[in-house]
Structure 1
Amino acid sequence: MNKFFEEIEKLLYLTRNYGVDNYIKRGGNKDEINPYEFCKFSNFGFKKAQLKVLELLRKEAEVKMEIKSNLSEERLKKAKDQLKIKQIQTDLKLSEMREGLLRHVIDSIAWQIYGGKREIMGRYYMEEEGATSITDEGFEATLALANKINADPTKFALITDLTENIQIGDLHVWSPKGIDIIEVKTGEKNRIAIELFGFYDTNNLNPTECIERIDDAKMRKQMQRMQSQKEKMKKTKRILNKDSGEYQKNPESRVEIHESHFQQETYHSKILALIEKSKEKGWAYESIGAIVNVGVYRDNWRFGAGKEALLESNRGYQIIDIRECTGFTIGEPLLCKPFPDKIIMDIIKGNIIIYIGVDLQRVIDFGNDIGGSMRWSTKKELHDMKTTSPLKGREIISHNNRGVIMAESKNGKAFMGGGFICRLVFDHLHPWIEIANRVHTYQNEIEDEE
């Protein structure tokens, strides 16, 4: 793993510091930054990192395939060596961890080009599971176009198949003028499909009805897939342009993008102070607003004792390892946190463990103290919500088979979801302000309904 961590450290530099360092080395004025000149250097770092990640992902795919093959062979043996099977399973988990961390590098680039606006990035995530191919003909066409675009030093074409969280568009092309989204289509069938869609548009024909009348089943399926992509793109643009619109995957649900009513604050500085303090005893703890509990652990405190102590402080509610943000879809990436590179690498390697928990009862209490109407749901209410919600059941936060209802009106109940917890645990937003923003937003929505 040491060699792998060395690669991650190099990628960390390319995505965080390469642009600034080389802009200044080439005579750039750090007090009055020229954005067009600066972006050339930062883009170069992004491009180099993206190609390196692709190279490492392809190598890891080969390693993973070999591990799976070994596991299958071992399981087929009559006299199974359980110890060897467990070792191979561990190797597989490590391979998946490496793959996830490499994709997290690209997620950190996406976070930067979108300015950390998770509400916008969330519109490009469709909850679709399963990795896409990074070796097939379609990907090679996307890579070729990305390389062509990236020949322009002022542009950076992000390949979305390398990310964990962008599922609309094949390329997101950043330049000082903004971001363009490109779908890459190859092959004869795609060429015919594009021409057909052009014909439908020119003649004001309903594409859904026209596609249903196509005799060739494969062509019809291809057209339906492309039509679905076009509809998702159209809905996404509508949401981003108007701050609201129909949810891309469910016409019965709507998406609303809200600006913060109160100026956001983070507790990044408190985490850094705890990291420094933990050098004394091997651990350090602080409660943020009596709602979010943070523990930092070193040495032997990393192995169970620290976690148990924080779980008790958090009154039994779930605590989360900060490294889990590498597998969370939309949130501040570990590689983007305002921490020194060495600290980030210590966290990645497990030399420093940071656990964060949210006391759900105190979220409810504080929300109600400032004018909200939060409460625990019944088991039935939680079951009904998981059954009918367009979100996956695991996205709804629960404890002992009850969820947290943050607001309710004649149009239904708003349950606490993973996005809220993510903002507190992974984005490190101050809980008082985040709860106040939610309460204010819900109150405005209820008033609008009335």
Structure 2
Amino acid sequence: MSKKKSKPKYDPFKILSPQYINRDLEDLAKRLFELSAKGSKPIWDELKVGNIKEDLDLRKRFLASSHAGMNEAQQSIVEIIQSNQNLTNSQTVLIQGVADSMAWQLIGNQLCYARCFYKGHKPVNLKQSNFDSVVLAANQMASIDPGSFALISDLTSFVQVGDLLTMGSLGGLTISEVKEGRKNHEILEFMNFMTQSDCPRAFQYFAQEHGESGIKQLQRMFRQADRMGYVKEVMLKGRSLDPDTNHKISIPEEFIYIQDWDSELNSILEGSDSKGWDLNVIDDCLFIASYSEDAMLNHGHGMFNIWFDQFGGTASCPRIRLIDSMTHPLAMPIFNFNISDEHKFDILFGRKNVCIGLNINALLKKLISVGLKVREATNKEASKMDQQGFPPYRHNGKAIFIGNEQQEMPLMDGIFLRILFHSQRPVETIQAILNNSPKLTP
């Protein structure tokens, strides 16, 4: 029996140490970023005075120019992948980051939609998948509907439902599967027949003809269809039942604005430009620092951890580098952050190291000070959440519940994801979730 791996011992001089993409890729990164994020730049001035929702021509030209840039960026990525060279880790992070950036743009930067697409699967080996067939299908979609864009799902880290995520020339998202081979087409035809005819003996005839392997493939294709239907229903209606977990998903109809900490981040980044470092604390619990001078880059993370720990941070408190957003599947990549392009590439290529830590002790005190209730969960409550596949964050070994007068919720990693990687202010985030979620029972 193999021994359980022990958790690495906390070392303030190792955790959050600088990481960056190979600097030889900076010119490529800038070109892909310009294409994927700024294809519509020629009409930005028109957007300031026009109404893109009501002006059909303006919307069509905006989407056509945006999608043209995305198509060109994706084609460049495809050419890199289809070359005979093996991708380096830096190339993989960059390519996936650009693809993720385009996916986030297509779903309006909405984490609730990204969660529906992400199934926790391991990254696909593009050399061993039906990648070439999907590329061909993407190109065909672009020719059928000029001005559209079909993103290849396998290029991203989180779009794991469907092979293509397509936005049409007038907007609107569709999810599609690309099937190759005679047997797959036969199974697809049977699925269509089965759902339309409701023949009680259809499955028996199918099993006799295709055997066990055919049945397994049929089951896989039905699961894929269920997942695509689930995502479509969530995006159209805001509610559905996750076929993988059987959990009900419900998204509030009205848009909920949660205040961000973008302005503080920009101020910190500009401060580190002028003096080599800068820092700030948001809501008395979110610690952020940026280090940019050579000496500070090498040792700044250690100084950050010591500073963070002096104010009550513990080894279990969430800590990240901003560049970690390039490798977390549900984080928006740095390309999508509301910071200057110069700051983005400084972080990506190692000229800045931005460290962020969430002090849980301070967070709980802050929540109490604004009128929320905080309590430790019982062992039974925590065990039930573990058994349901939604393990809570444990503070000093105990799960924590946070509540208002109407309901309460457990403190979980999903809250940290919003705070650390989606720049949402800690207190406002928790208040918004409590005020706009259906009642949660432990």
Short-chain TM bin: 0.7 to 0.9
1:34-53 aligned at under 5 Å gives the runs 34-53=58-77
Partners of 2:148 and 2:72 lie apart in 1 by: 13
Partners of 1:256 and 1:390 lie apart in 2 by: 18
**Cα pair 1:124 1:168 within 8 Å, conserved:** yes
Give the helix-richer structure, 1 or 2. 1
1:355-434 aligned at under 5 Å gives the runs 355-377=355-377, 382=382, 384-386=384-386, 388-391=387-390, 396-407=392-403, 414-434=409-429
1:48-447 aligned at under 5 Å gives the runs 48-59=72-83, 62-63=85-86, 95-128=88-121, 130-136=122-128, 138-151=130-143, 152-175=145-168, 176-205=170-199, 213-214=207-208, 216-251=211-246, 253-258=247-252, 263-299=257-293, 300-302=295-297, 303=299, 304-312=301-309, 313=311, 315-316=313-314, 317-377=317-377, 382=382, 384-386=384-386, 388-391=387-390, 396-407=392-403, 414-441=409-436, 445=439
SS state at 1:390 partner: coil
Partners of 1:4 and 1:208 lie apart in 2 by: 55
State the Cα deviation string for residues 192-223 of structure 1 (Å, max 9, x = none): 10111122122124799659945611111111
| Number of the residue aligned with 1:31 | 49
By relative contact order (CA 8 Å, sep 6+), the higher-ranking structure is 2
SS state at 1:355 partner: strand
**Cα pair 2:100 2:332 within 8 Å, conserved:** no
In the TM superposition, residue 170 of structure 1 has moved relative to its aligned partner by 0.9
In the TM superposition, residue 322 of structure 1 has moved relative to its aligned partner by 0.8
SS state at 2:439 partner: helix
In the TM superposition, residue 228 of structure 1 has moved relative to its aligned partner by 0.9
Q: Structure 1 residues 422 and 338, CA, compared in 2 at 3 Å: closer, same or farther?
A: same
Partners of 1:341 and 1:145 lie apart in 2 by: 33
SS state at 1:166 partner: coil
**One-letter identity of the residue aligned with 2:302:** A
**Cα pair 1:295 1:310 within 8 Å, conserved:** no
**Cα pair 2:279 2:288 within 8 Å, conserved:** yes
| Number of the residue aligned with 2:14 | none
SS state at 1:63 partner: coil
User: Identity rate of aligned residues, in percent?
Assistant: 21
**Cα pair 2:372 2:404 within 8 Å, conserved:** no
Q: Structure 1 residues 279 and 198, CA, compared in 2 at 3 Å: closer, same or farther?
A: closer
In the TM superposition, residue 399 of structure 1 has moved relative to its aligned partner by 4.1
Q: CA RMSD in A?
A: 3.0
State the Cα deviation string for residues 83-125 of structure 1 (Å, max 9, x = none): xxxxxxxxxxxx3343123101100001111111111221111
**Cα pair 1:44 1:153 within 8 Å, conserved:** no
Partners of 2:32 and 2:416 lie apart in 1 by: 28
**Cα pair 2:374 2:400 within 8 Å, conserved:** yes
**Cα pair 1:211 1:223 within 8 Å, conserved:** no
**One-letter identity of the residue aligned with 1:46:** M
The aligned length equals 405
Partners of 1:210 and 1:372 lie apart in 2 by: 58
